[in-house]
């Protein structure tokens, strides 16, 4: 009986360890496109993510799209990019392989006027992340 109980406890511990490892991998899914984040914003809200796509920075504009073609599509998925002004420097419009930050379902606060972003969804860029 003791052997059976130890075996069951061991199996439960292994199951718990395995399932914990799987759930942490699910959050770290590699580099995502803006459309993948926009499809399931509740899954990623508040989570650190890596994103790739076509970044457009300009007057009243700080956004990332899936591609240049997606930027030209008025119905294309788009995320806002939030960071200090110095992060955007001389960057205008180009592809980026990876930027990192925390995904937010809403970048704009209740009392804020938000002119930079194409949608409520966006990325709070990490300090070292450069578009």
Q: Give me the DSSP letters along 102-129.
A: EEES--S-TT----S-SSS-EEEE-TT-
Structural domain that includes position 62: 33-125
Pairwise CA distance, residues 129 & 114, whole Å: 22
Residue 13 has pLDDT above 70, yes or no: no
Specify whether 77 is located in the same domain as 24: no
Specify whether 76 is located in the same domain as 117: yes
* Conformational region of residue 53, where left means phi above 0, alpha means psi within -120 to 50, and beta covers everything else: left
Specify whether 44 is located in the same domain as 95: yes
Specify whether 39 is located in the same domain as 75: yes
Specify whether 55 is located in the same domain as 71: yes
Tell me what the mean pLDDT of segment 99-111 comes to.
90
Question: Count of domains in the chain?
Answer: 2
pLDDT at residue 123, rounded to an integer: 94
Tell me what the mean pLDDT of segment 78-94 comes to.
82
Specify whether 25 is located in the same domain as 66: no
Residue 21 has pLDDT above 50, yes or no: no
**% residues pLDDT > 70 (the chain):** 76
pLDDT at residue 112, rounded to an integer: 80
Residue 131 near residue 88 (C-beta atoms within 8 A): yes
Residue 23 has pLDDT above 80, yes or no: no
Q: Residue 109's beta-bridge partner residues? A: none
Specify whether 70 is located in the same domain as 41: yes
54-64 pLDDT, tens digit each:
999 887 889 99
pLDDT at residue 36, rounded to an integer: 96
Tell me what the mean pLDDT of segment 32-43 comes to.
95
Pairwise CA distance, residues 113 & 53, whole Å: 26
Residue 77 lies in a domain: yes
């Amino acid at each position: 009986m003791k052997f059976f109980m130890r075996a069951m406890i061991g199996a439960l511990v292994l199951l718990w360890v395995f399932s914990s490892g799987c759930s942490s991998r699910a959050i770290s899914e590699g580099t995502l496109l803006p459309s993948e984040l926009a499809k399931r914003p509740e899954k990623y809200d508040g989570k650190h993510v890596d994103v790739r796509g076509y970044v457009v920075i300009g007057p009243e504009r700080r956004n990332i799209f899936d591609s240049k073609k997606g930027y030209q599509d008025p119905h294309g998925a788009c995320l806002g990019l939030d960071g200090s002004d110095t992060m955007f420097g001389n960057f205008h419009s180009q592809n980026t392989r990876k930027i990192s930050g925390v995904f937010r379902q809403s970048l704009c606060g209740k009392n804020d006027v938000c002119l930079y972003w194409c949608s409520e969804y966006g990325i709070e860029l990490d300090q070292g992340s450069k578009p």
